[in-house]
């Protein structure tokens, strides 16, 4: 294969890669003063990277490197560059982490809930009353009457992120207490009966902290790119 030297901005734009290259250039600018990890930190970093990529043997790693056109040294630089970017994000956005966590919490938290939906308001009211009075379980009612795919699981759904259900349903679940059964609500062409079974709150652990810091870093890059594009149009 012919050695690759350089590409023009026009070529990168035509291939749909220009913005990604500009983004990576911004990353390099940000991390220029971030030193690589110490020697004793590197092997654990390389092992963690392989675990995330489901690469479980030296041969599998070598095949991946060959597919990507990377030498062993280039691969190590790639992994350490990601570590340096995370360090920069932590140094830069640590003070904003908690507020970003609270901002994202509704999307990060998960819910388990029971749902049944029918087209008839009268039927929905009757089924809600039967569940409320204990004449039949939610699961049995949903299995027999619900007109959506949830009937196959007895109406049980989740755990799923709060951002996944319909916005109106998500708001209802968000203000529910565990076990709360709501009377029928109209949702588009459906009448639904819903019960919150469990709210799974997301804790700000080490993995989530890294995710949120990288999100803030991505936001910073997008803002910088947008400002550059705007300046170019002026």
> Which pLDDT tens digit goes with each residue over 16-49?
999 999 999 999 999 999 999 999 999 999 999 9
**Residue 97 vs residues 34, 82, 105, 130, 223: alpha-carbon distances, Å:** 20, 19, 12, 46, 18
> Which pLDDT tens digit goes with each residue over 171-181?
999 899 999 99
* Exposed e or buried b per residue across 28-61, where buried means at least 16 C-beta atoms within 10 angstroms of its C-beta: eebbeebebbeeeeeeebeeebbeeeebeeeeeb
Res. 2 pLDDT band, cuts 50 70 90:
very low
Is the confidence at residue 1, as pLDDT, over 50?
no
Lowest mean pLDDT: which of 42-46, 81-85, 159-163?
A: 159-163
Single pTM value for the model: 0.76
Average pLDDT over residues 136-148: 97
Q: What is the pLDDT of residue 6?
A: 82
pLDDT over 90, % of the chain: 85
Instruction: Cite the DSSP H helix spans in the chain.
Output: 9-14, 18-30, 39-52, 58-68, 72-93, 97-108, 121-132, 138-145, 167-174, 206-233
Average pLDDT over residues 107-125: 95
């Amino acid at each position: 294969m012919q050695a690759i030297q350089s590409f023009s901005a026009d070529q990168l734009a035509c291939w749909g890669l220009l913005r990604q290259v500009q983004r990576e250039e911004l990353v390099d600018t940000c991390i220029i003063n971030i030193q690589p990890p110490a020697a004793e930190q590197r092997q654990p970093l390389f092992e963690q990277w392989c675990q995330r990529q489901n690469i479980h043997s030296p041969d599998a790693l070598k095949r991946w490197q060959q597919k990507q056109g990377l030498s062993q040294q280039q691969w190590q630089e790639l992994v350490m560059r990601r570590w340096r970017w995370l360090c920069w994000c932590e140094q830069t956005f640590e003070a904003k982490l908690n507020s970003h966590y609270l901002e994202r919490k509704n999307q990060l938290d998960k819910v388990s809930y029971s749902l049944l939906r029918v087209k008839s308001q009268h039927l929905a009211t009757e089924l809600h009353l039967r569940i409320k009075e204990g004449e039949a379980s939610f699961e049995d009612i949903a299995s027999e009457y619900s007109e959506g795919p949830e009937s196959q699981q007895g109406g049980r759904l989740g755990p799923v992120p709060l951002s996944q259900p319909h916005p109106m349903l998500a708001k209802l679940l968000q203000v529910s207490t565990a076990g709360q059964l709501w009377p029928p609500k109209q949702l588009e062409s459906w009448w639904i009966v819903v019960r919150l079974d469990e709210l799974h709150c997301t804790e700000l652990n080490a993995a989530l902290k890294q995710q949120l810091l990288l999100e803030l870093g991505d936001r910073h890059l997008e803002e910088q790119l947008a400002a550059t594009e705007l300046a170019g149009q002026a």
